Amino acid sequence: MKRWAGVLVLMTLAGGCGQGNAIVNVDVWSFINTSSGDTLPYVVPPLVSNFTVSNTAQKISLVPGAGGSLADTVTVQGNVNFVNSTGSGTISIQAYLAGDSASASSPSAGFFPVPITANVSPNHTTAVPIPPVTLTAKFDSLFTKSAVWFRLSTTLNNSGVTTVQGKAIISALNLRVVINPKIF
């Protein structure tokens, strides 16, 4: 009888909270910051286009026990700073999510609809907000597992005669995952 009373309390709480969704906020930056995964240094020779620099995919632990649940929506937002030392050019950053480290290197794992882009100049830091982006349905199933893999990549264009050198630094990156938990 006590077990059924507990189930009834859970059902009442779930019913009283709208659809009974759970909201999980994941501070991705706190995971990638500890291993310098938030920083991508770059050195681009003069007159080079589409120069790409990537980091190694990193594991981000999620809420355990959500395996039987359905992710309803996943939203990401944050901030990136392009700290440039020398040269001028255009830089773009893309983020990738996947269920394993190898898949995080696939172009299909990129989740910004359009890479975040900025112009960089010598001895200047350009702060660029990552506006809230709701991920497409293809990423939903990733957030019902115990972990996802995250990777960053930058693409630089240097049309000048001076080497472009600096680093892209993620200063904030947050995921908001709305999960429809399966209680039974």
Does a structural domain hold residue 44? Answer: yes
CATH number, domain of 121, equals: 2.60.120
Give the domain range for residue 75.
20-180
Q: What is the DSSP letter of 135?
A: P
Confidence tier at 24 by pLDDT (50, 70, 90): confident
Number of compact structural domains in the chain: 1
Does a structural domain hold residue 7? Answer: no
3-state secondary structure 7-46: HHHHHHHHHHCCCCCEEEEEEHHHHHHCCCCCEEEEEECC
Does a structural domain hold residue 13? Answer: no
Answer whether residue 16 shows pLDDT above 60: no
pLDDT at 6: 32
Query: Which carries the bigger pLDDT value, residue 157 or residue 21?
Result: 157
pLDDT at 184: 46
Residue type, 32: I
Does a structural domain hold residue 4? Answer: no
CA distance 52 to 93: 10
Rg, Å, the chain Cα set: 20
CA distance 38 to 168: 8
pLDDT at 112: 73
pLDDT in tens, 52-81: 998 888 888 776 655 556 667 888 899 999
pLDDT in tens, 108-159: 888 776 778 899 999 999 999 988 888 777 777 777 777 888 888 889 999 9
**SS3 label, residue 84:** strand
Contact indicator for 75, 66 with CB cutoff of 8 Å: no
